[in-house]
Amino acid sequence: MTDTLEKPIEKAEGAAIPAAPKRLFIKTYGCQMNVYDSERMADVLRPLGYATTDAPEGADFVILNTCHIRERAAEKVYSELGKLKQMRERKVARGDGGMTIAVAGCVAQAEGEEIMKRQPAVDLVVGPQAYHQLPELLTRTARARGERIGADFAPHEKFDALTPEMIATRSGEGPTAFLTVQEGCDKFCTFCVVPYTRGAEWSRPVAAVLAEARALADRGVREVTLLGQNVNAYDGEGPDGKPFTLARLAYALAAIPGLDRIRYTTSHANDMSDDLIQAHADLDALMPYLHLPVQAGSDRVLRLMNRKHGRQKYIDLIARIREARPDMAIAGDFIVGFPGETDRDFEDTLDLVRQVTYAGAFSFVYSPRPGTPAATMPGHIEEKVGLERLQRLQALLFEQQTAFNAAQAGKTLAVLFEKKGRYAGQAIGRSPYLQAVHVEGADHLLGQIVPVEIISGAQNSLNGRLADPGTI
């Protein structure tokens, strides 16, 4: 293991006292996978004396954990780097030490050399599969020697670097936690950079996942969200040496004492297997809220996207899922303005949304990513056309989301309280459908799952009151 950057301060009588904690600030862009990776970067840096802080001002180490899905997100990183360079200069000028600046994540993976050239203030570039190398890279940088870029594809190594002690000492996670079980993608959708920045599909062994889940449950986590770029393609090695499906993993997780809720994201329609659908019917712990992207409702556009499924297959799949779990709510992802998308194609997307009905969704105008097949396709859509389509789609999605939330009024839902609210005595929790629920007089129930009678629902949240036990 590498040595730390700061040695203990010596007392006059020769006894050592610990150095003051170094300040670590991590800014996270993008998806839940990046949130999980940011938390693990804090884990591997904690033994070096780094404590997280909420602002970059005065930090000793700043990490921008980046997302490469959309062009605008990448450009935000460069803008942020310029601000950090000035912040570091001011810190040095006032004699407050320096600031190490690192870029991590998918932009780092895709543009590592370009980042170093474009912004020389960057000290480290670390890809999403190499954050376990941060202590070593940081130490080498402090010594002004060695490599500055870690961008290999070795996901097993970064997970092997997570020790039970690191999990046990995590702070600020509360009763919910992310748990990465799968990385990478082999689907090669023509618009997506994930196969190039995260690599091929790889699943963590079952034993490692269960060990982390047990450690999380031991420290009070009641709900885990399993993460993967294509999470329902999970095929991690089981105790018998044979691969587990995500369904088998869900059954094993549901048996862990104290772990009451399981979610997973993001899924692909082609990997929504029969046993996973059955698991939703069998396991109360699997929450009835499924994020299952479709991206478009036109068969022609789906072929151009290389989604490898048609609209009817997706619609039929949703029907099968809802037959197994009648209370299932569906969330999705949509891209409008894909190269070659016609008005008819877009109307097909609106029609699919009306048939499925969504409780939530992410929707975007297509943004070309360099190196992807779609970037060089003919028929790119004018920006104003894409924006107009997005507005129409979002109006429909927001209407459905608001209607779904309003329909919860009068129901009693099990709510996991996560944090205190804005007002005295108020607590905010999550329903089985991932809605934020605001309840008065509940701030003493943090970390507990409690029946709540829903009074009203708005576009983004629910209001409720504590219900009598046993009403669910």
DSSP labels, 236-254: -B-TTSSBPPHHHHHHHHH
103, containing H or E segment? strand 100-105
Shared domain for 162 and 298, answered yes or no, is yes
Most confident of 25-29, 76-80, 157-161: 25-29
User: Is pLDDT of 140 > 70?
Assistant: no
CB atoms near residue 320 (< 10 Å): 12
> Do the domain assignments include residue 1?
no
- Tell me 378's DSSP state: S
Average pLDDT over residues 173-178: 88
> Given 94, 124, 155, which residue is the final one in a domain?
155
Q: Taking the CA of residue 300 as centre, how many other CA atoms within 13 Å lie in the half-sphere pointing to its CB?
A: 11
pLDDT of residue 7: 34
Does pLDDT of 148 surpass 50?
no
**Where among 389, 405, 421 does a domain terminate?**
405
Spatial distance between the Cα atoms of 83 and 367, rounded to a whole number of angstroms: 25
Burial 426-437 (b: 16+ CB within 10 A, else e): ebbbbbbbbbbb
Are both 340 and 442 inside the same structural domain? Answer: no
Same domain, 188 and 326: yes
For residue 386, what are the domain limits?
A: 157-405
Does residue 172 belong to any structural domain of this protein? Answer: yes
Lowest mean pLDDT among 61-65, 197-201, 302-306: 197-201
- For residue 94, the one-letter residue type is R
One domain, residues 258 and 174: yes
Asked, for residue 343, whether it belongs to a domain, the answer is: yes
Q: Is residue 3 part of a domain?
A: no
Task: Measure the N-to-C terminal CA separation of the chain; round to a whole number of Å.
Answer: 51
pTM over 0.75: no
Say which CATH number the domain at 26 has: 3.40.50.12160
Q: Give the distance from CA 387 to its chain's centroid.
A: 26
Long-range contacts of the stretch 440-444 (C-beta < 8 A, 24+) = 440/465, 441/466, 442/417, 442/466
Q: How many CB atoms lie within 10 A of CB 345?
A: 20
Tokens for 69, please give them.
């899905």
Mean predicted confidence (pLDDT) in 303-310: 96
In a domain, 471, yes or no: no
- One domain, residues 284 and 387: yes
- pLDDT number for residue 59: 92
Same domain? For 55 and 146 the reply is yes
Angle formed by the axes of helices 134-142 and 32-45, nearest 10°: 60
Residue 329, pLDDT > 50, answer yes
d(CA 111, CA 360): 32
Kindly indicate the confidence band of residue 168, based on its pLDDT and cuts at 50, 70 and 90: low
* CB-count exposure of residue 1 (10 Å: 0-12, 13-18, 19+): exposed
291 conformational bin, left if phi > 0, alpha if psi -120 to 50, beta if neither: beta
Same domain, 13 and 128: yes
CB atoms within 10 A of CB 10: 10
Tell me if the bond preceding 342 is cis, omega within 30° of 0: no
**Per-residue model confidence (pLDDT) at position 375:** 87
Do 149 and 228 belong together in one domain?
no
> Residues 60, 77: contact at Cβ < 8 Å?
no
Average pLDDT score, the chain: 86
The Cα 399–Cα 305 span in angstroms is 27
Query: Long-range contacts: 75-79, Cβ < 8 Å, 24+?
Result: 76/29, 77/29, 77/103, 77/107, 78/118, 78/119
Q: Does 305 reside within a domain?
A: yes
CATH number at residue 190: 3.80.30.20
- Give the range among 5-14, 298-307, 325-334, 365-374 with minimum mean pLDDT: 5-14
Q: Which of 10-14, 109-113, 354-358 has the lowest mean pLDDT?
A: 10-14
Q: Is pLDDT above 90 for 123?
A: no
Helix (H, G, I), strand (E, B) or coil at 435: coil
144 shares its domain with 181: no
The letter for the amino acid at 196 is: Y
Same domain, 259 and 401: yes
For residue 182, tell me if it sits in a domain. Answer: yes
pLDDT tens per residue, range 420-468? 999 999 999 999 999 999 999 999 999 999 999 999 999 889 999 999 8
Q: CB 2: neighbour CB atoms within 10 A?
A: 14
In the chain, the number of structural domains is 3
What are the pLDDT digits (tens) for 366-404? 988 877 889 889 999 999 999 999 999 999 999 999 999
Same domain for 388 and 425?
A: no
Are 88 and 197 contained in the same domain?
A: no
Residue 460 belongs to domain with CATH number? 2.40.50.140
- Would you say residue 170 lies in a domain? yes
